[in-house]
């Protein structure tokens, strides 16, 4: 018991010392304007490195991911049809599809699926 506590404390001291030394050695004291600017094959950048991003596209992508995950959760229902009670299987499937359809209707009603106004 004493040996394991000794090894644990030695490992803790060594790892803390390594983290402190790496933190001290990795500090950047000189900020260089050239190193902080975006790099385009050795030339000065023509435009801003931060381009505006369409919020509509982001919203559509998030909605797609949500429905994609829900469909992935729905796929195992087909493989367990022979192992479960058919009434329970149908109730679960219909309830899950109803949640999906209600979510789709809500997004459509809120106008999130309209790409252009």
Q: What confidence tens digit (pLDDT) does each residue in 14-71 have? A: 999 999 998 888 766 566 666 666 665 666 656 666 667 777 788 888 888 888 888 8
Interatomic CA distance for residues 117 and 110, integer angstroms = 13
Domain boundaries, the chain: 55-110
Which secondary structure element, helix H or strand E, spans residue 16, and what is its range? helix 2-25
Quick check: pTM over 0.75? no
Interatomic CA distance for residues 71 and 65, integer angstroms = 10
Contacts of 74 (CB under 8 A, 6+ apart): 93, 96, 97, 100
Q: Give the residues across from 40 on adjacent strands.
A: 43
């Amino acid at each position: 018991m004493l040996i394991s506590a000794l090894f644990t404390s030695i490992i803790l001291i060594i790892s803390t010392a390594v983290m402190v030394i790496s933190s001290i050695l990795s500090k950047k004291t000189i900020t260089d304007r050239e190193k902080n600017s975006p790099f385009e094959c050795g030339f000065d950048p023509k435009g801003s490195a931060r381009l505006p991003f369409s919020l509509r596209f982001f919203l559509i992508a998030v909605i797609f991911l949500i429905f994609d995950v829900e469909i992935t959760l729905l796929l195992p229902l087909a493989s367990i049809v022979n192992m479960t009670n058919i009434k329970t299987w149908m109730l679960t499937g219909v309830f899950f599809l109803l949640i999906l359809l209600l979510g789709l209707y809500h997004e459509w009603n809120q106008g999130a699926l309209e790409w252009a106004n």
